[in-house]
Copies of this chain bind each other. A is one copy, B any other.
Amino acid sequence: MSTDILLIPGPIVISKRVQDALGTPSVAHTCPEFVATFSDALKNTRQLFKAGASAQPVVLAGSGTLGWDITASNLICPDEKALVLSTGFFSDSFADCLTAYGAKVNKLDAPLGDVVPLEEVRSALKKDAYKLITITHVDTSTAVLSDVKSICEVVKEVSPETLIVVDAVCSAGCEALEFDAWGIDYALTASQKAVGAPPGLSISMLSQRATHVALQKAEQRMFFASLKRWIPIMQNYENRQASYFATPAVQLVNALKESTGEILEYGLDKRIEKHRKVSEWFKSQLTEAMGLELVSVNDAVSAHGLTAVYVKDPPAAISTLKSKGIVIAGGIHKDIKGEYIRVGHMGESVCNDSLQHLQKCIEALKQVAL
Protein backbone atom coordinates (compact mmCIF):
# COMPACT_ATOMS: atom_id res chain seq x y z
CA MET A 1 0.00 0.00 0.00
CA SER A 2 0.92 3.62 -0.44
CA THR A 3 3.27 5.23 2.06
CA ASP A 4 2.18 8.72 1.07
CA ILE A 5 1.31 11.25 3.76
CA LEU A 6 -2.47 11.32 3.65
CA LEU A 7 -3.77 14.85 4.23
CA ILE A 8 -7.22 14.78 2.70
CA PRO A 9 -10.19 15.65 4.92
CA GLY A 10 -10.86 11.97 5.59
CA PRO A 11 -10.03 9.15 5.54
CA ILE A 12 -7.16 10.35 7.71
CA VAL A 13 -3.94 8.64 8.81
CA ILE A 14 -4.67 6.01 11.45
CA SER A 15 -2.21 5.26 14.23
CA LYS A 16 -0.30 2.00 14.50
CA ARG A 17 -2.45 1.10 17.50
CA VAL A 18 -5.65 1.55 15.50
CA GLN A 19 -4.21 -0.30 12.51
CA ASP A 20 -3.25 -3.21 14.75
CA ALA A 21 -6.74 -3.35 16.26
CA LEU A 22 -8.15 -3.43 12.74
CA GLY A 23 -5.98 -6.23 11.38
CA THR A 24 -7.21 -8.82 13.86
CA PRO A 25 -8.77 -12.27 13.40
CA SER A 26 -12.53 -12.56 13.33
CA VAL A 27 -14.27 -13.28 16.59
CA ALA A 28 -17.92 -13.94 17.29
CA HIS A 29 -19.91 -10.72 17.49
CA THR A 30 -21.47 -12.19 20.62
CA CYS A 31 -18.33 -13.33 22.47
CA PRO A 32 -17.51 -11.68 25.82
CA GLU A 33 -14.26 -10.15 24.52
CA PHE A 34 -15.99 -8.37 21.65
CA VAL A 35 -19.00 -7.40 23.74
CA ALA A 36 -16.61 -5.70 26.19
CA THR A 37 -14.85 -3.96 23.28
CA PHE A 38 -18.14 -2.70 21.85
CA SER A 39 -19.22 -1.53 25.30
CA ASP A 40 -15.98 0.43 25.70
CA ALA A 41 -16.32 1.89 22.18
CA LEU A 42 -19.84 3.11 23.02
CA LYS A 43 -18.73 4.59 26.35
CA ASN A 44 -15.81 6.32 24.65
CA THR A 45 -18.15 7.69 21.98
CA ARG A 46 -20.34 9.15 24.69
CA GLN A 47 -17.31 11.00 26.08
CA LEU A 48 -16.22 12.11 22.61
CA PHE A 49 -19.50 13.99 22.26
CA LYS A 50 -19.47 15.16 25.91
CA ALA A 51 -22.75 13.37 26.40
CA GLY A 52 -23.91 12.03 29.73
CA ALA A 53 -25.70 8.91 30.87
CA SER A 54 -29.08 10.00 29.49
CA ALA A 55 -27.74 10.22 25.93
CA GLN A 56 -27.75 7.18 23.65
CA PRO A 57 -24.77 6.32 21.43
CA VAL A 58 -25.38 4.37 18.21
CA VAL A 59 -22.57 2.77 16.18
CA LEU A 60 -23.58 1.05 12.94
CA ALA A 61 -21.80 -0.46 9.95
CA GLY A 62 -22.22 2.17 7.26
CA SER A 63 -20.85 5.42 5.89
CA GLY A 64 -21.29 8.77 7.63
CA THR A 65 -24.11 9.43 5.18
CA LEU A 66 -26.20 6.83 6.98
CA GLY A 67 -26.55 9.35 9.83
CA TRP A 68 -28.61 11.54 7.50
CA ASP A 69 -30.91 8.61 6.76
CA ILE A 70 -31.21 7.93 10.49
CA THR A 71 -32.26 11.56 11.02
CA ALA A 72 -34.67 11.59 8.11
CA SER A 73 -36.33 8.28 8.92
CA ASN A 74 -36.42 8.38 12.73
CA LEU A 75 -36.69 11.98 13.86
CA ILE A 76 -39.08 13.55 11.37
CA CYS A 77 -42.18 12.39 9.52
CA PRO A 78 -43.10 13.05 5.89
CA ASP A 79 -44.56 16.56 5.47
CA GLU A 80 -43.07 17.81 8.73
CA LYS A 81 -40.76 20.78 8.38
CA ALA A 82 -36.99 20.86 8.60
CA LEU A 83 -34.81 23.97 8.66
CA VAL A 84 -31.42 23.31 7.05
CA LEU A 85 -28.56 25.76 7.56
CA SER A 86 -26.34 25.31 4.55
CA THR A 87 -22.66 26.11 4.51
CA GLY A 88 -21.79 23.95 1.51
CA PHE A 89 -22.09 20.71 -0.40
CA PHE A 90 -22.64 18.46 2.60
CA SER A 91 -25.36 20.62 4.15
CA ASP A 92 -27.09 20.63 0.75
CA SER A 93 -26.84 16.83 0.56
CA PHE A 94 -28.35 16.53 4.03
CA ALA A 95 -31.26 18.62 2.71
CA ASP A 96 -31.55 16.29 -0.29
CA CYS A 97 -31.74 13.31 2.06
CA LEU A 98 -34.46 14.91 4.19
CA THR A 99 -36.40 15.80 1.05
CA ALA A 100 -36.08 12.23 -0.29
CA TYR A 101 -37.73 11.02 2.91
CA GLY A 102 -40.61 13.43 2.46
CA ALA A 103 -39.72 16.22 4.88
CA LYS A 104 -40.56 19.78 3.86
CA VAL A 105 -37.18 21.45 3.81
CA ASN A 106 -36.50 25.16 4.15
CA LYS A 107 -32.83 25.65 3.35
CA LEU A 108 -31.08 28.84 4.40
CA ASP A 109 -27.98 29.23 2.26
CA ALA A 110 -25.02 30.99 3.78
CA PRO A 111 -22.93 33.25 1.54
CA LEU A 112 -20.01 31.26 0.12
CA GLY A 113 -17.37 30.75 2.81
CA ASP A 114 -19.59 32.12 5.55
CA VAL A 115 -22.33 30.96 7.90
CA VAL A 116 -26.04 31.77 7.97
CA PRO A 117 -26.47 34.95 10.08
CA LEU A 118 -28.00 34.17 13.48
CA GLU A 119 -30.76 36.70 12.91
CA GLU A 120 -31.84 34.85 9.79
CA VAL A 121 -32.05 31.62 11.79
CA ARG A 122 -34.04 33.38 14.48
CA SER A 123 -36.50 34.89 12.06
CA ALA A 124 -37.01 31.60 10.19
CA LEU A 125 -37.72 29.82 13.47
CA LYS A 126 -40.21 32.52 14.43
CA LYS A 127 -42.04 32.30 11.13
CA ASP A 128 -42.63 28.55 11.05
CA ALA A 129 -42.80 25.53 13.33
CA TYR A 130 -39.94 23.20 12.54
CA LYS A 131 -39.68 19.60 13.71
CA LEU A 132 -35.92 19.81 13.44
CA ILE A 133 -33.05 22.05 12.43
CA THR A 134 -29.83 20.74 10.93
CA ILE A 135 -26.47 22.39 11.47
CA THR A 136 -23.41 21.19 9.60
CA HIS A 137 -20.77 21.87 12.23
CA VAL A 138 -18.00 21.83 9.64
CA ASP A 139 -18.90 21.59 5.98
CA THR A 140 -16.06 19.56 4.52
CA SER A 141 -16.59 21.17 1.11
CA THR A 142 -15.82 24.73 2.30
CA ALA A 143 -14.07 24.26 5.68
CA VAL A 144 -16.66 26.61 7.15
CA LEU A 145 -17.23 26.19 10.88
CA SER A 146 -20.69 26.89 12.27
CA ASP A 147 -21.21 28.33 15.73
CA VAL A 148 -23.30 25.44 17.00
CA LYS A 149 -23.45 26.78 20.54
CA SER A 150 -24.99 30.12 19.55
CA ILE A 151 -27.41 28.50 17.14
CA CYS A 152 -28.52 26.13 19.88
CA GLU A 153 -29.17 29.14 22.16
CA VAL A 154 -31.35 30.77 19.53
CA VAL A 155 -33.31 27.55 18.95
CA LYS A 156 -33.83 27.04 22.70
CA GLU A 157 -35.05 30.61 22.99
CA VAL A 158 -37.33 30.86 19.96
CA SER A 159 -38.44 27.29 19.26
CA PRO A 160 -37.49 24.99 22.13
CA GLU A 161 -39.54 22.09 20.74
CA THR A 162 -37.42 21.95 17.55
CA LEU A 163 -34.94 19.06 17.59
CA ILE A 164 -31.36 20.17 17.05
CA VAL A 165 -29.43 17.92 14.70
CA VAL A 166 -25.68 18.45 14.23
CA ASP A 167 -23.69 16.92 11.41
CA ALA A 168 -20.38 16.49 13.24
CA VAL A 169 -18.69 14.45 10.51
CA CYS A 170 -15.70 16.76 10.29
CA SER A 171 -15.91 18.10 13.85
CA ALA A 172 -16.24 15.31 16.44
CA GLY A 173 -12.74 14.92 17.87
CA CYS A 174 -11.34 18.18 16.51
CA GLU A 175 -13.81 20.97 17.35
CA ALA A 176 -15.42 21.96 20.65
CA LEU A 177 -18.69 20.04 20.73
CA GLU A 178 -20.81 19.86 23.89
CA PHE A 179 -23.72 17.56 23.25
CA ASP A 180 -25.35 17.90 26.66
CA ALA A 181 -24.36 21.44 27.58
CA TRP A 182 -25.54 22.91 24.29
CA GLY A 183 -28.71 20.81 24.24
CA ILE A 184 -28.10 18.94 21.00
CA ASP A 185 -30.66 16.24 20.19
CA TYR A 186 -28.84 14.23 17.55
CA ALA A 187 -25.22 14.45 16.46
CA LEU A 188 -23.77 12.22 13.78
CA THR A 189 -20.27 11.54 12.59
CA ALA A 190 -18.18 9.07 10.62
CA SER A 191 -15.26 6.93 11.75
CA GLN A 192 -12.68 8.15 9.22
CA LYS A 193 -12.38 11.82 10.16
CA ALA A 194 -11.02 13.22 13.45
CA VAL A 195 -12.30 10.10 15.20
CA GLY A 196 -9.21 8.46 13.71
CA ALA A 197 -10.58 5.07 12.67
CA PRO A 198 -10.97 3.60 9.17
CA PRO A 199 -14.09 4.40 7.14
CA GLY A 200 -17.10 2.11 7.54
CA LEU A 201 -18.87 3.20 10.72
CA SER A 202 -21.75 5.59 11.24
CA ILE A 203 -21.40 6.99 14.78
CA SER A 204 -24.10 9.05 16.43
CA MET A 205 -25.63 10.27 19.67
CA LEU A 206 -29.25 10.80 20.68
CA SER A 207 -30.59 12.98 23.48
CA GLN A 208 -33.25 11.56 25.76
CA ARG A 209 -35.83 13.60 23.86
CA ALA A 210 -34.65 12.32 20.47
CA THR A 211 -34.57 8.76 21.81
CA HIS A 212 -38.18 9.21 22.85
CA VAL A 213 -39.17 10.50 19.39
CA ALA A 214 -37.38 7.59 17.71
CA LEU A 215 -38.93 4.95 19.95
CA GLN A 216 -42.43 6.38 19.42
CA LYS A 217 -42.13 6.61 15.68
CA ALA A 218 -44.05 4.20 13.47
CA GLU A 219 -41.60 2.12 11.52
CA GLN A 220 -42.14 3.23 7.98
CA ARG A 221 -39.88 2.97 4.99
CA MET A 222 -36.86 1.92 7.02
CA PHE A 223 -35.41 -1.15 8.62
CA PHE A 224 -31.61 -1.14 8.81
CA ALA A 225 -31.67 2.52 9.93
CA SER A 226 -34.45 1.93 12.46
CA LEU A 227 -33.44 3.30 15.85
CA LYS A 228 -36.37 1.48 17.42
CA ARG A 229 -34.56 -1.72 16.49
CA TRP A 230 -31.05 -0.52 17.28
CA ILE A 231 -31.48 1.32 20.59
CA PRO A 232 -32.11 -1.84 22.67
CA ILE A 233 -29.16 -3.53 20.93
CA MET A 234 -26.85 -0.61 21.74
CA GLN A 235 -28.08 -0.53 25.33
CA ASN A 236 -27.42 -4.23 25.71
CA TYR A 237 -23.93 -4.03 24.22
CA GLU A 238 -23.05 -1.07 26.42
CA ASN A 239 -24.22 -3.13 29.41
CA ARG A 240 -21.96 -5.96 28.24
CA GLN A 241 -24.72 -8.19 27.00
CA ALA A 242 -24.62 -9.59 23.46
CA SER A 243 -27.64 -8.75 21.35
CA TYR A 244 -28.58 -9.11 17.70
CA PHE A 245 -30.25 -7.14 15.00
CA ALA A 246 -27.57 -7.13 12.30
CA THR A 247 -23.93 -8.18 12.58
CA PRO A 248 -21.68 -5.31 13.72
CA ALA A 249 -18.45 -4.60 11.84
CA VAL A 250 -16.33 -6.34 14.48
CA GLN A 251 -12.85 -5.22 13.41
CA LEU A 252 -13.95 -1.64 12.74
CA VAL A 253 -15.43 -1.51 16.24
CA ASN A 254 -12.10 -2.79 17.60
CA ALA A 255 -10.43 0.08 15.75
CA LEU A 256 -12.99 2.59 17.03
CA LYS A 257 -12.40 1.54 20.63
CA GLU A 258 -8.68 2.22 20.18
CA SER A 259 -9.03 5.46 18.24
CA THR A 260 -11.48 6.95 20.73
CA GLY A 261 -9.31 5.58 23.54
CA GLU A 262 -6.33 7.47 22.11
CA ILE A 263 -8.33 10.68 21.94
CA LEU A 264 -9.49 10.38 25.55
CA GLU A 265 -6.03 9.43 26.84
CA TYR A 266 -4.56 12.44 25.06
CA GLY A 267 -7.34 14.49 26.62
CA LEU A 268 -10.31 15.62 24.54
CA ASP A 269 -9.99 19.34 25.39
CA LYS A 270 -6.23 19.25 24.92
CA ARG A 271 -6.73 17.56 21.58
CA ILE A 272 -9.23 20.12 20.38
CA GLU A 273 -6.86 22.90 21.46
CA LYS A 274 -4.05 21.17 19.55
CA HIS A 275 -6.18 21.08 16.41
CA ARG A 276 -6.93 24.77 16.85
CA LYS A 277 -3.26 25.69 17.22
CA VAL A 278 -2.04 23.59 14.33
CA SER A 279 -4.88 24.86 12.14
CA GLU A 280 -4.09 28.49 12.98
CA TRP A 281 -0.40 27.96 12.23
CA PHE A 282 -1.20 26.13 8.99
CA LYS A 283 -3.64 28.80 7.82
CA SER A 284 -1.28 31.65 8.75
CA GLN A 285 1.45 30.03 6.68
CA LEU A 286 -0.88 30.00 3.69
CA THR A 287 -2.31 33.48 4.15
CA GLU A 288 0.44 35.56 5.75
CA ALA A 289 3.55 33.79 4.53
CA MET A 290 2.26 32.81 1.10
CA GLY A 291 -0.40 35.44 0.46
CA LEU A 292 -3.20 32.99 -0.33
CA GLU A 293 -6.89 33.43 0.39
CA LEU A 294 -9.01 30.96 2.36
CA VAL A 295 -12.50 29.93 1.28
CA SER A 296 -13.77 30.62 4.81
CA VAL A 297 -14.19 34.37 5.10
CA ASN A 298 -12.78 34.95 8.61
CA ASP A 299 -11.22 33.18 11.59
CA ALA A 300 -14.50 32.79 13.44
CA VAL A 301 -15.96 30.62 10.67
CA SER A 302 -12.78 28.68 9.87
CA ALA A 303 -12.73 24.98 10.71
CA HIS A 304 -9.76 23.51 12.58
CA GLY A 305 -9.68 20.05 11.02
CA LEU A 306 -9.19 21.12 7.45
CA THR A 307 -8.31 24.13 5.31
CA ALA A 308 -9.86 25.15 2.00
CA VAL A 309 -7.67 27.63 0.15
CA TYR A 310 -7.84 29.23 -3.29
CA VAL A 311 -4.91 28.45 -5.57
CA LYS A 312 -4.28 29.31 -9.22
CA ASP A 313 -4.08 25.78 -10.55
CA PRO A 314 -5.53 23.18 -8.18
CA PRO A 315 -4.80 20.08 -10.34
CA ALA A 316 -1.16 21.16 -10.66
CA ALA A 317 -0.90 21.77 -6.90
CA ILE A 318 -2.41 18.38 -6.13
CA SER A 319 -0.24 16.46 -8.56
CA THR A 320 2.95 18.28 -7.56
CA LEU A 321 2.29 17.49 -3.91
CA LYS A 322 1.49 13.91 -4.85
CA SER A 323 4.89 13.70 -6.56
CA LYS A 324 6.37 14.76 -3.21
CA GLY A 325 4.43 12.03 -1.42
CA ILE A 326 1.68 14.20 0.03
CA VAL A 327 -1.96 13.57 -0.80
CA ILE A 328 -4.40 16.50 -0.61
CA ALA A 329 -7.86 16.98 -2.09
CA GLY A 330 -9.51 19.19 -4.68
CA GLY A 331 -12.52 21.41 -4.25
CA ILE A 332 -16.08 20.09 -4.40
CA HIS A 333 -18.25 23.17 -3.88
CA LYS A 334 -20.29 23.65 -7.05
CA ASP A 335 -19.56 27.37 -7.44
CA ILE A 336 -15.78 27.22 -7.05
CA LYS A 337 -14.94 23.59 -7.78
CA GLY A 338 -11.87 24.28 -9.91
CA GLU A 339 -10.52 27.16 -7.85
CA TYR A 340 -9.32 25.71 -4.54
CA ILE A 341 -7.69 22.84 -2.74
CA ARG A 342 -8.51 21.18 0.58
CA VAL A 343 -5.99 19.95 3.13
CA GLY A 344 -7.13 17.84 6.06
CA HIS A 345 -5.39 18.21 9.41
CA MET A 346 -6.97 15.87 11.89
CA GLY A 347 -5.98 13.22 14.37
CA GLU A 348 -2.63 11.50 14.18
CA SER A 349 -1.21 13.95 11.61
CA VAL A 350 -1.90 16.81 14.01
CA CYS A 351 -1.35 15.25 17.43
CA ASN A 352 1.71 13.10 16.74
CA ASP A 353 4.32 15.85 16.54
CA SER A 354 7.06 13.49 15.45
CA LEU A 355 5.32 12.94 12.11
CA GLN A 356 5.69 16.62 11.07
CA HIS A 357 2.97 16.06 8.47
CA LEU A 358 1.72 19.63 8.28
CA GLN A 359 5.19 21.12 8.30
CA LYS A 360 6.10 18.86 5.39
CA CYS A 361 2.92 19.89 3.61
CA ILE A 362 3.70 23.61 3.99
CA GLU A 363 7.26 23.06 2.78
CA ALA A 364 5.95 21.25 -0.26
CA LEU A 365 3.30 23.89 -0.94
CA LYS A 366 5.94 26.61 -0.78
CA GLN A 367 7.77 24.93 -3.62
CA VAL A 368 4.70 25.04 -5.84
CA ALA A 369 3.67 28.09 -7.79
CA LEU A 370 0.30 28.71 -6.12
Where the two chains meet, the residues of A that have a C-beta atom closer than 8 Å to any C-beta of B are: 1-4, 6, 8, 10-14, 19-20, 22-31, 33, 60-66, 68-69, 72-73, 78, 96-97, 100-102, 190, 192, 198-201, 219-226, 244-252, 254, 327, 329, 332
Give chain B residues whose Cβ lies under 8 Å from the Cβ of A30. 329
Taken together as a complex, chains A and B put the C-alpha atoms of A220 and B103 apart, in Å, by 11
B100 to A219, Cβ gap below 8 A? yes
Taken together as a complex, chains A and B put the C-alpha atoms of A279 and B308 apart, in Å, by 57
Q: A247's contact among B24, B63, B244, B250, by CB below 8 Å, is which? A: B63
Taken together as a complex, chains A and B put the C-alpha atoms of A224 and B22 apart, in Å, by 25
The DSSP consensus for interface residues of chain A is loop
B10 to A221, Cβ gap below 8 A? no
> Across the two chains, which residue of chain B brings its CB closest to A98?
B223
B200 to A100, Cβ gap below 8 A? no
A198 to B26, Cβ gap below 8 A? yes
A2 to B31, Cβ gap below 8 A? yes
Minimum C-beta distance from A138 to chain B (A): 15
A19 to B23, Cβ gap below 8 A? yes
A23 to B26, Cβ gap below 8 A? no
Give chain B residues whose Cβ lies under 8 Å from the Cβ of A28. 6, 8, 11, 327, 329
> Across the two chains, which residue of chain B brings its CB closest to A78?
B221
Give chain B residues whose Cβ lies under 8 Å from the Cβ of A252. 198, 200, 249, 252
Minimum C-beta distance from A20 to chain B (A): 7
Give chain B residues whose Cβ lies under 8 Å from the Cβ of A26. 6, 11-14, 192, 198-199
Minimum C-beta distance from A76 to chain B (A): 12
Give chain B residues whose Cβ lies under 8 Å from the Cβ of A3. 25
Give chain B residues whose Cβ lies under 8 Å from the Cβ of A65. 223-224, 245-246
B329 to A64, Cβ gap below 8 A? no
B29 to A69, Cβ gap below 8 A? no
Give chain B residues whose Cβ lies under 8 Å from the Cβ of A246. 63-66
Give chain B residues whose Cβ lies under 8 Å from the Cβ of A219. 100
B64 to A247, Cβ gap below 8 A? yes
Minimum C-beta distance from A297 to chain B (A): 26
Taken together as a complex, chains A and B put the C-alpha atoms of A224 and B222 apart, in Å, by 11
